Structure 1
Amino acid sequence: MFPIWATGIVFAAVYVQMPTLSVEQGTMLNKTIGSFRIPADSVSSSNVVNVIFWVTVYDRFIVLIARKVTGKERGFTEIQRMGIGLFISVLCMSAAAMVEIKRLELGRELDLVHKLEAVPLSILWQIPNISC
Structure 2
Amino acid sequence: VAAKVEWDDEEHTILRVDLLSYTWPEYHEAIQQVVTEAGQQSHRVDVIIHNPSDPAPGNPLPHLRSSIRQIAAVTNIRMIVTIPSRRLPGFIRALADTVLHGYGANSNQQAIFVNSLAEARRRINEDRGKSAKA
- TM-score, scaled relative to structure 1: 0.25
- TM-score, scaled relative to structure 2: 0.25
Higher relative contact order (CA 8 A, sep 6+): 1
Of Structure 1 and Structure 2, which has the larger fraction of its residues in strand? Answer: 2
